[in-house]
Amino acid sequence: MAGIRYITPWILLLLIFFPPVLGSAEEEEKELTAAIQNQYQSIESFRTEFTQKLINASSNDSEERKGWIAYKRPRRIHWETESPEKEVLILNRDFVWDYYPAENVAYRYSLQQMFDSKTMLRFISGEVDLAEEFNVTRIDSEAEASELIRLELKPKNPDPSLVEANLRVDPEDMLIRRIKLVDFFGNQNILRFENIEPNCQPDPDLFELEPPEDTRVVDRTGES
């Protein structure tokens, strides 16, 4: 269930970047959406630890992953899964790389492939307008007492990779602490963030990848 072969990391990094006394719930949701998106668009860089849970709807099998993510504007992402196996996903000005050291293979994609669809990388890079592309609803549930703001996002133009998303946002800093993505088949991708460090100035070398000489490079830049 690793990487591209199950629920791709970019579809999961999906929502990291994004909304009177208020006259209606709709106005409140628009304001929350704008506040979240403005916060992320104002951040020049960040680093965070993550825990990810992937749930396969047909088999009910699940897998938990842990690692860390670094981001730097514009469009620089280093996503490193440390367990259960190491995987390094890098987006820079030239390509998107997905590298599996244990398998000695690196997949290379074009930027256009990633930004032509509703991918997680688009959201992290601030390339998506949440208000334009999603219907946002605030969820208040007594069954789940939480200080976090809970939002449900439904794509205005759903595709198989994403039919629903749920966010939990800290009202103190308007940063996302949890994302749940659901695809057409009911597979779930749940990502939790801890120890978020905004504007941390990550090392530029994090966003470059030179695969070892014996690595098998699979070039998928020509695929549609």
Give me the residue label for tokens 């259960």. Answer: 84
Given a contact cutoff of 8 angstroms between Cβ atoms, the answer to whether 63 and 182 are in contact is no
Give me the residue label for tokens 């930004």. Answer: 115
Handedness of CA 211, 217, 218, 221 (dihedral sign): positive
Over the stretch 173-203, which tens digit does the pLDDT of each residue have?
988 899 888 989 999 989 899 999 999 999 9
Secondary structure in 3-state letters for 6-48 = CCCHHHHHHHCCCCCCCCCHHHHHHHHHHHHHHHHHHCCEEEE
**This prediction's pTM:** 0.83
The confidence band for 157, taking pLDDT boundaries of 50, 70 and 90, is: confident
Over the stretch 69-97, which tens digit does the pLDDT of each residue have?
999 988 889 999 999 999 999 988 888 89
Alpha helices in the chain (DSSP H): 9-12, 25-42, 111-115, 120-124, 130-133
